[in-house]
Structure 1
Amino acid sequence: MKDEENIECYISSSSKLSNYLTLENCDVLISKNKGRKLRTEYTLEAVEFKKILYYVNFNKVNELYYNLLLSSGFEAKTIHREYLVNNQIKTDFCFQNQGKWVCAEIKALLCSSNKVIFPDNSSHRTERQLLQYIELLRENIDVTFCFIAMSATITDFELNLSKKRIKVCLAEAVSLGMKISAYSVIYNCGDFELTENRTLEENILKAILS
């Protein structure tokens, strides 16, 4: 591709991305879209901002988690995506682990510093989800709230003080047995994958339980 060539790319959650990263004069990683009659030929996958690589394809975060489950030994036929539990609660993933059903909710985290503030926008949907998961926990259904940092440099976590109900709901859910997990998106051998982020996980729990 010539340096002066301009191409149009699809950007998932472009309005959210602009709140954190400036794309101008940044090196980017793009992928070629598959299929016909698409509006754009390419999708923006990652941005190198201040020498740090950020994964920015929010639409594929759940796919990365699905690949993680597969690599962890779960069979594809046992993993249900966007599953309706009890015909009323929609969860990102539902799968069996040691004979028990587990619901997993995925939350992507993006910021240009090492500390992320959660939630960073409207919290109504997250609060509603947590209240629903609290009901599932009371029915002895395992729940995992999975935070995925879009860069390995994101290791610190702070709850938005203006969203007090979120902390209350998270604390209640954790007290009922909800698991908190955290991963980072990394670029490895030409592809993106998830790796455990234990420091972020510990800081999330500290913020919830403090």
Structure 2
Amino acid sequence: MAKATIVIIGAEKGGVGKTTTTRVLLHFLRSIGVSHRAFDTEHPRGSLARFYPAEIVDLTDSDDQIKVFDSVSDQVVTVIDIRAGLLSAMLQTLSVIGFLDPIKFNIIVLHVLGNTKDSVNEVPDMAERLRGVRYITVANRVSETKYEFPAGVEVNIPHLNVKTAETVDAANAAYHDFLANPPSRVLQGYLDTWLRGIVAQLAAAKIP
């Protein structure tokens, strides 16, 4: 029997690139023709919703939990961008309501690591908490850091040309929309090459 897939992207620390990771994942799912829906938990403002038609929800509220999880389907991948500081609490809630059961659901947690010791220190506890669930660490190297990430990181997000990153963000558009109508062929080339490298890693990690 097919299982619904839920992909959770998060970290306890803020500013590590969770939304960037989610945007790339959504670009990847679209590129391989996988039906999906996205939720932005940075309620009420929403960071992901700036760039993608994600629904903004408050996952500390039971009504919004019902909205998200009662509607999961094996036909559509559910992607949830968890706001900073909410990951552990959200995982606890999912455990309580039965949505961290790998027998019933295909759960994938992308834990995004930034270039700080505090961020990397989250890994042992998170790995223990998610034993039995697909747990994938993502190293965000967007600032060209030389910081040593832990061994076993499955996905590396490299530095993107600064001008390209600034222009893409200012466009408030999904990556595929920017590529389809770029203001510059040079910036299009930078973004396309960057995305292809990350997409290859997501495919190798067998997501979804």
- The structure whose residues are more often helix, as a share, is 2
**Category of TM-score, reference length = shorter chain:** 0.3 to 0.5
Q: How high is the TM-score relative to the length of structure 2? A: 0.37
Which is bigger in relative contact order (C-alpha 8 A, separation at least 6)? 2
Greater Rg by CA: 1
